[in-house]
């Protein structure tokens, strides 16, 4: 039954079991009938330890306060962190952008309709982009800025432990896709507020999600990759990929490692090596066939482009970016190139641009422009007939909306895929896959349910609509999703809704489409399940 | 009485300017922020039409960058004059917020016309008996003023209505919204009364402005007009202290943040700023940041808190030997 009710800003502080719940009846309808089950209960092992008072799931593991002192401690630490967030020394990175959002939002809700979570949840107030910002803004005006008449001017808020816990969790109910920021007439940025709240928890309170922190950025700093592959294992695995795919494709290739003075240091998301080895192979085949001077690096953090700090922690972000730049400096390459990973693109190319000091300023670029140039150059022979199945293109937010790389990937699919069709909207106005800002790697408890039911719902609708002329299991279809996180989200979502069986729908990257069309490679590089 | 209104008006103009300058100084004196641009970036020339940018090129740092002022104007003008984003994404609000904003723009135009007329008057010209230009200014003032007043009052009332009746908006509406809109209705409503009953050709308004410009503070004998001037002075000083300061801060939000895609290439100035911020102290308390004796951003960012890489290296070395 619909549990929709108007949630007031001040409800966040109330002594209730939870703030909100999204019922199946309220979900945005899809252009196909998919059965949705009720939310799985949060396991007791989780709800006993962590404060689960926002909705039907738990993402940020905030220890449950057991005593009055614990409760006060939570509030005091949060306020300490918030003060630092508004200090130029501790938050030089984002202070200006945060302050302007605090001061100039007109509270007009123009950003609401742009948010796929708000829409997918049946406009549940909790998901309105401005909801968490408004709570945060009221705390800022009342407790940090101590603005005279804050209560009347900006609205009142009671800052208790429930407010803190719910606000922390709410920061993890946003994909930080910045679609809302794009529609704001003023230029305010609700996505940034979600990220800044995550920073308070991580940088001050030492609370973050295990997937992003302990098993994410910390593994990368410790072992070299969040996949836990050290440099020996990663090289072994890639060697195995080289052998395996040389046999399979009939195209002999070898992935170069640690080549000093190469033109390009390519950094893959190491998750590809484990989950989508064909992506690694495809890059190596294309670069070898095009005669590119390139290398991978086996240095700490430099064979894994991920930088989860970009989702929750500036310090972890800077540490990772510096290690990656240092590896490039050591090899003396001309530039760093990012493989098919959206957040890694943005992290190292754009955000690190004002973090890396002079000696580490090695130019950084996306792989797509070079791939486009290779495909257009005539150096490699293609047969587009091999890609003659319906293909649509997913635009990873980080690469398109946040970096303006729109055309290169389109020029490639337009040339190599006779049945290419766009999703709507697309390019910089795309919708997030639902896995953005860290969720794609989260499989804890009922988080996947949320990823499919709410976060990925709009993308699923877009995909199904893009193939409205060829629905059903008779026609093989392909979603080109050139980003590891987006692929992770699609893999899990397609499995949940049995889209391979019901729709012959598969997903993979851009380089796979290129290699699939290469005349020098045996046909059938891209596989639908039954081909394996 | 009218002298004190003149003095209050001077004071309000000073406060208005001072608050604007203070906000701008605060903004520009903040430290360097990281890049956080959002596409489409309007100055990207041709590419802006589909939301692309310079990162679409191989070796983009060696290429000539496009900067299209026309492109920026093509976005800014419809945004400012027509409130395009609200039209596209929040149509029902547009129908009330647009008259409000258009009314305010026209009030600015109206004030411009009054200032022009006042200067002409001070220079010895008579608006009613002057040449065609002066006559046109007088006629335009008479036309623009009432339209501006009526639109902004309708818009303000409409916004109040919307904020009360739309449950989504109601949730985000505070006392300040009602106060601000009420203040506009009161101030502009008084201006409408003045126009209707005391100053139908805005001659008194022009005399007042001439008195302000010339510092002669010519006495005004209309108490309705003086009340209107008092309210206008208060509103003028008050606007930049509120979120309505977006009318000028929007420049920075768009140009420095949303479209701030300037890469750090051959920019000693940016390198210098990076040097400054990397030397800022870090006081974040989480265990992966604090407690390692690292104090500045440069130290913290180049420190590996896992303290294990060395051990991993050893393990790798041993593993290699085993192999
Ligand atoms: S963020 Fe922008 S669009 Fe959203 S409520 Fe604030 S001013 Fe309006
Ligand atoms: S960033 Fe994306 S997910 Fe988050 S509130 Fe904005 S539109 Fe919604």
Dmax (CA) of chain B: 104
ω before B31 within 30° of 0 (cis)?
no
Question: Residue A70: its pLDDT value, please?
Answer: 97
- Burial class, A330, CB count within 10 angstroms (exposed 0-12 / middle 13-18 / buried 19+): middle
- Looking at the complex, does the CB of residue B61 fall below 8 Å from at least one CB of chain A? yes
Question: Residue B319: its pLDDT value, please?
Answer: 52
The yes-or-no verdict on residue A271 having pLDDT over 60 is yes
Confidence of residue A17 (pLDDT cuts 50, 70, 90): very high
**Conformational region of residue A228, where left means phi above 0, alpha means psi within -120 to 50, and beta covers everything else:** left
Report whether residue A184 contacts ligand 2, using a CB cutoff of 6 Å: no
Report whether residue A178 contacts ligand 2, using a CB cutoff of 6 Å: yes
Q: How far is A336 from chain B (nearest CA, A)?
A: 11
Q: Ligand 2, residues A114, A173, A174: which to mutate, most atoms within 8 A of Cβ?
A: A174
Is the CB of residue A437 less than 8 Å from the CB of residue A174?
yes
Residues of chain A numbered 262-281 and touching chain B (CB < 8 Å): none
The pLDDT tens digits for A410-450 are: 999 999 999 999 999 999 999 999 999 999 999 999 999 99
Question: How many angstroms is it from B308 CA to the middle of ligand 1?
Answer: 45
- Give, for B317, the enclosing helix (H) or strand (E): helix B309-322
Using the atom order of ligand 1, give the atom closest to the CA of residue B89: 3
Among B214, B241, B268, which residue terminates a domain? B241
- Distance of alpha carbon B172 from alpha carbon B243, whole angstroms: 14
Confidence of residue A465 (pLDDT cuts 50, 70, 90): very high
- Looking at the complex, does the CB of residue A365 fall below 8 Å from at least one CB of chain B? yes
The pLDDT tens digits for A481-498 are: 999 999 999 999 999 999
In this structure, are B234 and B296 located in the same domain?
A: no
How would you classify the pairing of strands A294-295 and A264-267?
Answer: parallel
User: Percent of chain A, pLDDT > 70?
Assistant: 99
Confidence of residue B129 (pLDDT cuts 50, 70, 90): confident
Owner of token pair 């049946």: A122
The yes-or-no verdict on residue A243 having pLDDT over 50 is yes
The yes-or-no verdict on residue B116 having pLDDT over 50 is yes
Question: Residue B316: its pLDDT value, please?
Answer: 47
- Distance of alpha carbon A28 from alpha carbon A23, whole angstroms: 11
Residue in B with minimal Cα distance to A155: B174
B257–A111: do the CB atoms touch at under 8 Å? no
In this structure, are B230 and B290 located in the same domain?
A: no
B312–A230: do the CB atoms touch at under 8 Å? yes
Mutation target to probe the B interface, by most B beta carbons within 10 A, among A94, A110, A132 is A110
Question: Do the domain assignments include residue B29?
Answer: yes
Question: Residue A247: its pLDDT value, please?
Answer: 98
- Count CB atoms within 10 A of the CB of residue A385: 9
Is the CB of residue A86 less than 8 Å from the CB of residue A80?
no
The pLDDT tens digits for A359-413 are: 999 999 999 999 999 999 999 999 999 999 999 999 999 999 999 999 999 999 9
Bridge partners, residue A393, by sequence? A480
Question: Residue B126: its pLDDT value, please?
Answer: 84
The pLDDT tens digits for A126-167 are: 999 999 999 999 999 999 999 999 999 999 999 999 999 999
Closest CA to B194 of B151, B155, B231: B231
Question: How many angstroms is it from A194 CA to the middle of ligand 1?
Answer: 14
CA-based radius of gyration for chain A: 23
Q: What is the dihedral of CA A94, A96, A102, A107, to 10 degrees?
A: -100
Owner of token pair 């790798």: B316
Question: Residue A214: its pLDDT value, please?
Answer: 97
The CATH number that applies at residue B13 is 1.20.950.20
- Give, for B271, the enclosing helix (H) or strand (E): helix B268-278
Q: Rounded mean pLDDT of A111-120?
A: 98
Q: Enumerate long-range contacts of B65-68, CB under 8 Å, 24 or more apart.
A: B67/B43, B68/B42, B68/B43, B68/B44
- Count CB atoms within 10 A of the CB of residue B302: 16
Q: Ligand 1, residues A104, A107, A118, A194: which to mutate, most atoms within 8 A of Cβ?
A: A107
* Three-state secondary structure string covering B12-70: HHHHHHHHHHHHHHHHHHCCCCCCCCCCCCCCCHHHHHHCCCHHHCCCHHHCCCCCCHH
Question: Residue A331: its pLDDT value, please?
Answer: 98
Three-state secondary structure call for residue A128? coil
Question: Residue A134: its pLDDT value, please?
Answer: 98
B171–A104: do the CB atoms touch at under 8 Å? no
Interior angle at CA B181, CA B111 and CA A159, nearest 5: 135
Where do runs of H (alpha helix) occur along A7-110? 44-49, 68-85, 95-104
Question: Residue B312: its pLDDT value, please?
Answer: 45
Using the atom order of ligand 1, give the atom closest to the CA of residue A183: 3
- Distance of alpha carbon B270 from alpha carbon B125, whole angstroms: 53
The yes-or-no verdict on residue B307 having pLDDT over 70 is no
- Distance of alpha carbon B290 from alpha carbon A345, whole angstroms: 29
B271–A358: do the CB atoms touch at under 8 Å? yes
Question: How many angstroms is it from B16 CA to the middle of ligand 1?
Answer: 24
Question: How many angstroms is it from A127 CA to the middle of ligand 2?
Answer: 8
The yes-or-no verdict on residue A523 having pLDDT over 80 is yes
Residue B309's domain comprises 279-322
Residues of chain A numbered 223-262 and touching chain B (CB < 8 Å): 223-224, 230-232
Q: How far is A532 from chain B (nearest CA, A)?
A: 33
In this structure, are B300 and B153 located in the same domain?
A: no
- With beta carbons under 8 A apart, name residues in chain A contacting B300: 315, 318
The yes-or-no verdict on residue A506 having pLDDT over 60 is yes
Residues of chain A numbered 325-354 and touching chain B (CB < 8 Å): 335, 349-351, 353-354
Among B211, B241, B271, which residue terminates a domain? B241
Question: How many angstroms is it from A109 CA to the middle of ligand 1?
Answer: 5
Is the CB of residue B155 less than 8 Å from the CB of residue B148?
no
In this structure, are B294 and B190 located in the same domain?
A: no
Q: How far is A38 from chain B (nearest CA, A)?
A: 27
Question: Do the domain assignments include residue B235?
Answer: yes
The ligand 1 site (C-beta within 6 Å) comprises: A 105-111, 130, 184, 186, 188, 190
- Distance of alpha carbon A172 from alpha carbon A202, whole angstroms: 12
Q: How far is A100 from chain B (nearest CA, A)?
A: 7
Closest ligand to Cα A102:
1
Interior angle at CA B174, CA B173 and CA B178, nearest 5: 90
Question: Do the domain assignments include residue B64?
Answer: no
The count of domains in chain B is 2
Using the atom order of ligand 2, give the atom closest to the CA of residue A114: 7
Closest ligand to Cα A430:
2
Closest CA to B261 of B69, B60, B41, B70: B41
The yes-or-no verdict on residue B309 having pLDDT over 70 is no
- With beta carbons under 8 A apart, name residues in chain A contacting B252: 100
Using the atom order of ligand 2, give the atom closest to the CA of residue A194: 4
Question: Residue B19: its pLDDT value, please?
Answer: 97
Question: Do the domain assignments include residue B78?
Answer: no
ipTM over 0.90: yes
Question: Residue A33: its pLDDT value, please?
Answer: 87
Question: How many angstroms is it from B36 CA to the middle of ligand 1?
Answer: 17
A354–B35: do the CB atoms touch at under 8 Å? yes
In this structure, are B171 and B289 located in the same domain?
A: no
The yes-or-no verdict on residue A2 having pLDDT over 80 is no
- Looking at the complex, does the CB of residue B268 fall below 8 Å from at least one CB of chain A? no
Interior angle at CA A93, CA A87 and CA A95, nearest 5: 45
Residue in B with minimal Cα distance to A184: B85
In this structure, are B223 and B129 located in the same domain?
A: yes
- How many residues in chain B? 323
The pLDDT tens digits for A183-241 are: 999 999 999 999 999 999 999 999 999 999 999 999 999 999 999 999 999 999 999 99
Question: Residue A459: its pLDDT value, please?
Answer: 98
Where do runs of H (alpha helix) occur along A184-308? 190-199, 218-222, 231-249, 271-275, 277-290
Report whether residue A114 contacts ligand 2, using a CB cutoff of 6 Å: yes
Question: Do the domain assignments include residue B290?
Answer: yes
Question: Do the domain assignments include residue B198?
Answer: yes
Is the CB of residue A365 less than 8 Å from the CB of residue A338?
yes
The pLDDT tens digits for B236-285 are: 999 999 999 999 999 999 999 999 999 999 899 999 999 999 999 999 99
Three-state secondary structure call for residue A357? coil
- Residue A293, φ and ψ in degrees, nearest 5: -90, 110
What mean pLDDT, rounded, does chain A reach? Answer: 96
> Any residues with CB less than 8 A from the CB of B196 and at least 6 apart, and which?
none
The DSSP secondary structure of B232-244, one letter per residue, reads: HHHHHHHGGGSGG
In this structure, are B155 and B304 located in the same domain?
A: no
Q: How far is A431 from chain B (nearest CA, A)?
A: 14
In this structure, are B11 and B111 located in the same domain?
A: yes
DSSP letter, residue B258: I
Question: How many angstroms is it from A379 CA to the middle of ligand 2?
Answer: 42
Q: Rounded mean pLDDT of B167-193?
A: 97
Report whether residue A177 contacts ligand 2, using a CB cutoff of 6 Å: yes
Report whether residue A190 contacts ligand 2, using a CB cutoff of 6 Å: yes
Question: Residue B317: its pLDDT value, please?
Answer: 53
- Count CB atoms within 10 A of the CB of residue A68: 9
The yes-or-no verdict on residue A1 having pLDDT over 60 is no
What mean pLDDT, rounded, does chain B reach? Answer: 93
Using a cut of 0.90, tell me whether the model's pTM lies above it: yes
A405–B56: do the CB atoms touch at under 8 Å? yes
User: Percent of chain B, pLDDT > 70?
Assistant: 95
Which parts of A290-350 are beta strand (E)? 294-295, 335-338
Question: How many angstroms is it from B96 CA to the middle of ligand 1?
Answer: 16
The yes-or-no verdict on residue B321 having pLDDT over 80 is no
The yes-or-no verdict on residue B315 having pLDDT over 60 is no
Mutation target to probe the A interface, by most A beta carbons within 10 A, among B19, B33, B83, B249 is B33
Question: Residue B1: its pLDDT value, please?
Answer: 76
Is the CB of residue A117 less than 8 Å from the CB of residue A178?
no
Q: Kindly report the protein residue whose alpha carbon is nearest to atom 2 of ligand 1.
A: A184
Task: Look up residue B114 and give its two tokens.
Answer: 């009054």
Confidence of residue A532 (pLDDT cuts 50, 70, 90): very low
In this structure, are B228 and B110 located in the same domain?
A: yes
Task: Look up residue B36 and give its two tokens.
Answer: 């956080």
Look at B99 and B308; give whichever has higher pLDDT. Answer: B99
């Amino acid at each position: 039954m619909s549990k929709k009710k108007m949630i007031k800003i001040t409800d966040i502080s109330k002594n209730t079991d939870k703030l909100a719940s999204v019922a199946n009846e309220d979900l945005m309808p899809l252009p196909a009938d998919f059965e949705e089950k009720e939310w799985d209960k949060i396991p007791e092992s989780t709800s006993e330890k962590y404060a689960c008072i926002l909705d039907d799931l738990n993402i940020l593991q905030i220890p449950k306060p057991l005593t009055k002192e614990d409760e006060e401690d939570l509030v005091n630490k949060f306020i300490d962190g918030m003060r630092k967030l508004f200090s130029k020394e501790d938050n030089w990175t984002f202070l200006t952008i945060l302050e302007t959002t605090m001061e100039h939002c007109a509270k007009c809700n123009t950003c609401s309709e742009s948010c796929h979570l708000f829409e997918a949840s049946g406009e549940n107030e909790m998901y309105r982009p401005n909801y968490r910002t408004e709570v945060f803004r009221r705390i800022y005006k009342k407790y940090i800025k101590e603005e005279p008449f804050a209560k009347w001017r900006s609205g009142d808020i009671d800052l208790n432990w429930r407010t803190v816990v719910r606000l922390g969790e709410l920061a993890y109910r946003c994909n930080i896709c910045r679609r809302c920021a794009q529609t704001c007439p003023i230029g305010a940025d609700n996505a940034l507020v979600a990220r800044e709240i995550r920073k308070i928890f991580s940088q001050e309170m030492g609370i973050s999600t295990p997937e992003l922190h302990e098993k994410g950025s910390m593994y990368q700093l410790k072992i070299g990759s969040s996949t836990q592959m050290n440099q020996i294992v990663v090289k072994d695995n890639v060697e195995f990929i080289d052998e395996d795919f040389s046999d399979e494709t009939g195209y002999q290739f070898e992935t170069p490692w640690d080549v000093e003075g190469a033109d390009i240091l390519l950094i893959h998301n190491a998750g590809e090596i484990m989950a989508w080895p064909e992506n690694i192979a495809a890059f190596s085949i294309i670069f070898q066939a095009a005669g590119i001077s390139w290398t991978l690096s086996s240095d700490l953090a430099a064979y894994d482009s991920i930088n989860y700090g970009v989702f929750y922690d500036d310090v972890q972000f800077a540490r990772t970016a510096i290690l990656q730049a240092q590896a490039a400096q050591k090899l003396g390459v001309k530039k760093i190139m990012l493989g098919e990973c959206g957040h890694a693109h943005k992290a190292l190319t754009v955000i690190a641009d004002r973090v890396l000091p002079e000696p580490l300023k090695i130019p950084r670029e996306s792989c797509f422009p070079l791939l486009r140039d290779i495909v257009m150059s005539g150096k490699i022979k293609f047969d587009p007939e091999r890609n003659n199945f319906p293909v649509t293109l997913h635009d990873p937010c980080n690469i398109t909306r946040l970096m303006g790389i729109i055309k290169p990937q389109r020029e490639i699919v337009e040339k190599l895929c006779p049945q290419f069709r766009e999703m709507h909207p697309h390019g910089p106005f795309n919708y997030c896959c639902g896995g953005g800002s860290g969720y794609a790697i989260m499989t804890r408890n009922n988080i996947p349910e949320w990823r499919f039911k709410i976060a990925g719902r709009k993308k699923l609708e877009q995909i199904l609509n893009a193939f409205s002329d060829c629905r059903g299991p008779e026609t093989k279809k392909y979603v080109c999703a050139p980003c590891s996180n987006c692929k992770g989200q699609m893999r899990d979502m397609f499995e949940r809704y049995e889209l391979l069986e019901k729709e012959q729908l598969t997903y993979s990257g851009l380089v796979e489409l290129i290699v699939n069309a290469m005349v020098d490679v045996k046909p059938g590089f891209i596989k639908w399940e039954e081909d394996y | 009485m009218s002298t004190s209104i003149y003095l209050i008006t001077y004071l309000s103009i000073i406060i208005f300017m001072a608050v604007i300058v203070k906000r701008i100084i605060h903004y520009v004196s903040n430290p360097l922020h990281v890049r956080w641009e959002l596409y489409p970036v309007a100055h990207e020339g041709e590419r802006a039409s589909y939301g692309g940018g310079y990162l679409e090129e191989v070796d983009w740092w060696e290429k000539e960058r496009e900067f299209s002022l026309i492109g920026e104007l093509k976005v800014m003008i419809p945004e400012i004059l027509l409130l395009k984003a609200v039209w596209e994404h929040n149509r029902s609000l547009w129908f009330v917020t647009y008259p409000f904003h258009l009314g305010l723009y026209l009030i600015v135009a109206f004030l411009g016309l009054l200032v022009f007329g006042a200067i002409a008057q001070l220079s010895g010209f008579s608006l009613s008996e002057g040449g065609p230009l002066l006559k046109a200014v007088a006629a335009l003032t008479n036309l623009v003023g009432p339209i501006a007043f009526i639109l902004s009052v309708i818009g303000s009332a409409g916004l109040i209505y919307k904020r009360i009746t739309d449950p989504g908006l109601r949730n985000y509406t505070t006392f300040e919204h009602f106060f601000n809109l009420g203040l506009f209705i009161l101030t502009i409503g008084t201006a409408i009364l003045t126009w209707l009953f005391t100053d139908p050709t805005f001659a008194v308004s022009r005399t007042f402005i001439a008195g302000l410009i010339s510092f002669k503070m010519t006495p005004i004998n209309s108490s309705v007009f003086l009340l209107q001037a008092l309210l206008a002075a208060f509103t003028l000083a008050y606007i930049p202290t509120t979120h309505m300061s977006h009318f000028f801060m929007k420049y920075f939000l768009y140009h420095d943040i949303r479209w701030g895609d300037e890469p750090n290439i051959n920019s000693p100035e940016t390198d210098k700023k990076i040097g400054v911020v990397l030397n800022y102290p870090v006081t974040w308390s989480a265990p992966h940041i604090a407690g390692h004796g690292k104090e500045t951003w440069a130290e913290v960012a180049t420190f590996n808190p896992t303290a294990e890489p060395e051990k991993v290296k050893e393990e790798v070395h041993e593993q290699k030997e085993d192999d």
